[in-house]
Amino acid sequence: MDHTACIVMTTASTEDEAESLASAIVEARLAACVQVQRVRSFYIWKDEPHHEPEWLLMIKTLPARYEAIEAFVRERHSYETPEVVQVPITGGSPDYLQWLAAGSRGGGAPAVPQE
């Protein structure tokens, strides 16, 4: 089995938007897992500095699902230009990566591996 995996990251302005997006991504079987964390972002937008609370979504999936996730996020996101970036996973627990792959391909994911 190919264990190639990635994390796709995006941010949302509210917890409700982040949770709604995370749930929809997992329910659509585009990813096995989405973690949501509160962060504070510092950035320049339209030549103005900003520092805002945001919610970071770490979407655990397969590289082949990136384009579908990007389109899914863009269709549902409140930002004019949402962050959607892919970070490769270059290593990891084989059991976890198998679970991630199964959950990102559709048809349901097996339970999270336990000890």
- Please report the pLDDT score of residue 105 as a whole number: 80
Instruction: Map tokens 């945001």 to a residue.
Output: 54
Across the range 28-40, mean pLDDT stands at 97
Tens of pLDDT, residues 37-89:
999 999 999 999 999 999 999 999 999 999 999 999 999 999 999 999 999 99
Which residue has better confidence, 51 or 2? 51
**Closest alpha carbon to 11 in 59, 49, 61, 60:** 59
- Please report the pLDDT score of residue 109 as a whole number: 46
Across the range 90-102, mean pLDDT stands at 91
- Please report the pLDDT score of residue 106 as a whole number: 65
- Please report the pLDDT score of residue 65 as a whole number: 95
All domains in the chain, ordered by first residue = 5-104 (3.30.70.120)
Handedness of CA 41, 46, 49, 52 (dihedral sign): negative
